[in-house]
């Protein structure tokens, strides 16, 4: 038996897999990456030598209203590490500047004050010189129209961002299951955009595109809209980091929103990429807290398993989902219809401008369910899991037994992906579109 440790919620779970059935363990290079410099040093070095941009201290000169777009509570961005050196650069170039931190919630719920403190620390949250604003995508009165996206949708972003003398953002770069990679331009769209803009960008046509996949930027229609939106919003500077398996900074990239992001994605592409090991059973996770808080987010980890699972196989998803499903529309699409084929047909027939919230996540989950049997090892209620067309298991042992029954054999090969959101699984040496 082979013992494997998997991230789960705020802790971990140990599973044992029969050695003769284990085809392989797929991990990103983050587990073996060694970095001698501290997190703070890496961020400071990136700020000193920005990519395609003047230093931040020069950009802020003469600017009074500076807005920093920051990630919300669902992202493990180490803001406590990033913000102090950023604040030093701002004060160096514009001592009297007023800083607003705009929390990029995208389509997520508003971030609470306690979550802000957990993320930034008491000192920054309680600093009277810093204002915090939490973006709410459904508050149309807070939005400003900046034009029309290449896709045809309206670009409406938070007025706080649009009115900035200088707009910048922090974030992190990891594989993203339909935008290619996170970070960079995503701070604007979907980060601080109107729900109407997000819905148009996340339409079924784009999600179905073969280039809207993990690790692909070139030809990706979702990415194309996002880059245009960031440029139109005048996003002037970014500080993005790449994290290891312990959520520690191992590389930082600062500078021009597109050039610095491309440099970060090129690094991430090499670090996270691994070749698929095809099996009838694939076990994976969503990387633990905060990314495995709900079923909605958990779909991301499933896409890694999808890339390494034989058609008709079983995906065993170990994800806490302590907050439940994560989106009422997302849940209802499955709970109210028994046929995945009917669900997919309805989604694909939905016009771009009629996209409904959480449709994209449902589309990807539906795609997976049409090809694989999904067993969830989770803290979410059994009734919720079953209503969403998946099978509930109390622990891994039960899940493996259910998988064997489903496949009709007890010797099916198994691939384990300990962190499904930290890898780019490539079949047959397929390369992504990072330029």
Helix 328-335 to helix 340-348 angle (10° resolution) is 130
**Above 90 in pLDDT, residue 345?**
yes
**Above 60 in pLDDT, residue 431?**
no
Residue range 222-235: average pLDDT? 98
Asked if 176 is an active-site residue, the reply is yes
Same domain, 73 and 17: no
Same domain, 173 and 127: yes
Residue 34 lies in a domain: no
Is the bond leading into 74 cis (omega within 30 degrees of zero)?
no
- pLDDT > 90 fraction of the chain, expressed in percent and rounded: 88
Put residue 8 in one of left, alpha, beta given phi > 0 → left and psi -120 to 50 → alpha.
Answer: beta
**Above 80 in pLDDT, residue 188?**
yes
Same domain, 78 and 195: yes
Residue 81 lies in a domain: yes
Of all helices (H) and strands (E), which one includes residue 138? none
Of all helices (H) and strands (E), which one includes residue 336? none
Asked whether the CA dihedral 34, 247, 420, 102 is positive or negative, the reply is: negative
- HSE-CB of 215 using CA atoms within 13 angstroms: 25
User: What does each C-alpha distance from 137 to 108, 131, 307 come to in angstroms?
Assistant: 9, 19, 32
Residue 346 lies in a domain: yes
Q: Name the residue range of residue 317's domain.
A: 2-26+276-426
To the nearest whole number, what is the mean pLDDT of the chain?
94
Cβ burial of 49 (10 Å; 0-12, 13-18, 19+) is exposed
Residue 433 lies in a domain: no
Same domain, 54 and 22: no
Same domain, 263 and 356: no
Same domain, 341 and 216: no
**CA-closest candidate to residue 208, choices 353, 349, 372, 371:** 349
Number of residues in the chain: 435
Q: What is the pLDDT of residue 435?
A: 30
When comparing pLDDT for 34 and 81, which is higher?
Answer: 81
Q: What is the pLDDT of residue 428?
A: 61
Domain boundary among 220, 254, 271: 271
CATH code of the domain covering residue 377: 3.90.226.30
Q: Tens digits of per-residue pLDDT, 370-385?
A: 999 999 999 999 999 9
Residue 166 lies in a domain: yes
Domain boundary among 271, 304, 338: 271
Same domain, 93 and 217: yes
Same domain, 121 and 152: yes
| Beta carbons of 407 and 16 less than 8 angstroms apart | no
Same domain, 11 and 74: no
CA 272/CA 175 separation, integer angstroms: 8
First to last CA, the chain: 42
Give me 189's structure tokens.
Answer: 């769209």
Residue 435 lies in a domain: no
CATH code of the domain covering residue 97: 3.40.50.11440
Residue 32 lies in a domain: no
Domain boundary among 222, 237, 271: 271
Question: Which residue reads 């309680």 in tokens?
Answer: 126
CA 413/CA 427 separation, integer angstroms: 17
**CA-closest candidate to residue 275, choices 423, 395, 374, 403:** 423
**Which residues is 14 bridged to in the sheet?**
5
Domain count, the chain: 2
Is the bond leading into 41 cis (omega within 30 degrees of zero)?
no
**Above 90 in pLDDT, residue 433?**
no
pTM for this one? 0.86
Same domain, 108 and 232: yes
Same domain, 321 and 230: no
CA 144/CA 236 separation, integer angstroms: 18
Cα 31 from chain centroid (whole Å): 19
Cα dihedral 363, 433, 215, 227, rounded to 10, equals: -70
| Beta carbons of 273 and 215 less than 8 angstroms apart | yes
Give me 194's structure tokens.
Answer: 């109107």
Asked if 223 is an active-site residue, the reply is no
**Above 80 in pLDDT, residue 429?**
no
Q: Tens digits of per-residue pLDDT, 65-102?
A: 999 999 998 788 999 999 999 999 999 999 999 999 99
Same domain, 125 and 239: yes
Residue 401 lies in a domain: yes
- Catalytic-labelled residue, pool 73, 135, 176, 256: 176
Q: What is the pLDDT of residue 147?
A: 96
């Amino acid at each position: 038996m082979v013992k494997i440790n998997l991230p789960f919620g705020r802790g971990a779970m140990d599973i044992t897999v029969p050695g003769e059935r284990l085809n392989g363990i797929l991990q990103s290079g983050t587990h073996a990456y060694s970095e001698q410099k501290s997190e703070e040093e890496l961020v400071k070095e990136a700020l000193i030598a920005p990519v395609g941009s003047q230093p931040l201290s020069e950009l802020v000169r003469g600017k009074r209203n500076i807005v920093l777009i920051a990630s919300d509570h669902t992202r493990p961005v180490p803001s406590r590490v990033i913000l102090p050196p950023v604040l030093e650069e701002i004060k160096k170039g514009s001592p009297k500047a007023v800083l607003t931190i705009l929390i990029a919630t995208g389509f997520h719920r508003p971030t609470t004050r306690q979550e802000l403190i957990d993320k930034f620390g008491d000192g920054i949250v309680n600093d009277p010189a810093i204002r915090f604003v939490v973006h709410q995508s459904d508050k149309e009165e807070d939005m400003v129209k900046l034009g029309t996206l290449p896709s045809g949708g309206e670009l409406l972003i938070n007025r706080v961002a649009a009115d900035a003398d200088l707009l910048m953002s922090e974030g992190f770069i990891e594989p993203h299951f339909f935008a290619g990679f996170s970070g960079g331009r995503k701070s604007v769209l979907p980060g601080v955009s109107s729900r109407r803009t997000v819905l148009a960008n996340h339409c079924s046509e784009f999600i179905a595109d073969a280039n809207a996949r993990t690790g692909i930027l070139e030809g990706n229609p979702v990415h194309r809209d996002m880059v245009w939106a960031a440029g139109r919003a005048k996003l002037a500077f970014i500080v993005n980091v790449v994290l290891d398996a312990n959520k520690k900074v191992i590389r930082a990239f600062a500078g021009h929103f597109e050039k610095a992001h491309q440099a970060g994605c090129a690094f991430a592409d090499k670090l996270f990429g691994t070749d698929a090991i095809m099996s009838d059973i694939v076990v994976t996770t969503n990387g633990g807290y905060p990314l495995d808080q709900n079923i909605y987010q958990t779909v991301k980890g499933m896409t890694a398993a999808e890339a390494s699972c034989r058609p008709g196989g079983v995906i065993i998803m170990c994800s806490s989902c302590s907050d439940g499903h994560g989106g009422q529309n997302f849940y209802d699409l499955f709970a109210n219809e028994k046929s995945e084929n009917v669900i997919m047909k309805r989604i694909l027939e939905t016009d771009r401008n009629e996209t409904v919230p959480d449709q994209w996540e449902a589309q990807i989950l539906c795609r997976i369910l049409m090809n694989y049997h999904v067993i969830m090892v989770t803290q979410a209620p059994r009734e919720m899991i079953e209503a969403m067309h998946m099978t509930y298991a109390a622990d891994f042992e039960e899940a493996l037994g259910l998988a064997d029954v489903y496949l009709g054999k007890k010797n099916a090969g198994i691939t384990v992906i300990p962190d499904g959101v930290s890898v780019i699984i490539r079949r047959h040496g397929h390369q992504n579109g990072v330029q």
